[in-house]
């Protein structure tokens, strides 16, 4: 599909999977805010949409052939298995470690003005909210989708999309507490590692939400 600036961020990310990496690097919300046209999102962010499309083309050209999976064309059970086995498993593994790292940084650097005070508490809240969210998907929504419930999945999908927006707001709060995930000059290796892992966490969570909001949920409603 030819890319156009009038296409939504979600459509671009679905049809050109490497676009998600470009959007994350440029600070464009393609998961919860994915229904905005690229031109509109770029205008709001002060970016040139033509330049963004060029970056997506370059990313596609640089990616090894067969690296990306066109999930919109794969069977729904396979897609759900991937979401649970990859994204859900990663969240359960990574969030406790992020909490522990944040606690260590705050305990060691509490006297510094640049210390991300309150980050560990926020990550504990994120961890609890995410675990509750994953349980709802795995125990309620995903079984309904696999049973071919079609439009009857609409109410739980609406709940999940609302919680996805909450996750997006938490990502914004993390950036506020961490100076946009920028480690200060005096940051120790643990502090720098925490911010690097938070950036990777943000990128993966956005990809996860995008795959559900813009691929899985629309397909499930049409089954």
pLDDT tens for 146-159 read 999 999 999 999 99
Q: What is the pLDDT of residue 64?
A: 63
Cβ atoms within 10 Å, residue 14: 23
Q: What is the pLDDT of residue 4?
A: 85
pLDDT tens for 13-55 read 888 888 888 999 999 998 888 889 999 999 999 999 999 999 9
Q: Residue 70 above 80 pLDDT?
A: no
- H-only helix segments in the chain: 9-15, 19-25, 38-45, 49-62, 76-82, 89-109, 119-136, 142-146, 154-177, 189-211, 217-222
Find the distance separating the first CA and the last CA of the chain, reported in whole Å. Answer: 24
What mean pLDDT comes out for the span 203-220? 95
- CB 154, CB 96: distance < 8 Å: no
- pLDDT grade, residue 67 (50/70/90)? low
pTM (predicted TM-score): 0.87
Q: What is the DSSP letter of 220?
A: H
Report which of 217, 176, 221, 166 is spatially closest to residue 198, judged by C-alpha positions.
Answer: 176
Structure tokens at 59: 């990313």
Share of the chain above pLDDT 70, in %: 96
Biggest alpha carbon–alpha carbon distance for the chain: 56
């Amino acid at each position: 599909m030819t890319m156009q600036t009038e296409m939504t961020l979600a459509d671009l990310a679905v049809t050109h999977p490497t676009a998600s990496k470009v959007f994350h690097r440029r600070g464009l919300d393609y998961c919860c805010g994915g229904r905005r046209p690229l031109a509109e999102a770029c205008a709001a962010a002060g970016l040139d949409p033509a330049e963004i499309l060029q970056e997506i083309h370059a990313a596609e050209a640089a990616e090894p052939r067969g690296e990306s999976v066109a999930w919109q064309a794969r069977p729904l059970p396979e897609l759900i298995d991937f979401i649970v086995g990859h994204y859900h498993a990663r969240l359960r593994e990574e969030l406790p470690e992020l909490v522990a790292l944040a606690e260590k940084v705050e305990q060691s650097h509490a006297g510094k003005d640049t210390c991300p005070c309150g980050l560990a508490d926020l990550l504990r809240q994120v961890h609890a909210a995410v675990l509750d969210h994953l349980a709802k998907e795995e125990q309620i929504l995903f079984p309904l989708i696999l049973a071919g419930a079609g439009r009857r999945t609409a109410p739980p999908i609406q709940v999940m999309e609302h919680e996805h927006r909450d996750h997006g707001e938490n990502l914004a709060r993390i950036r506020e507490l961490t100076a946009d995930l920028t480690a200060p000059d005096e940051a120790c290796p643990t502090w720098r590692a925490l911010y690097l892992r938070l950036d990777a966490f943000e990128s993966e969570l956005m990809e996860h939400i995008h795959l559900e909001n813009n691929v899985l949920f629309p397909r499930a409603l049409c089954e």
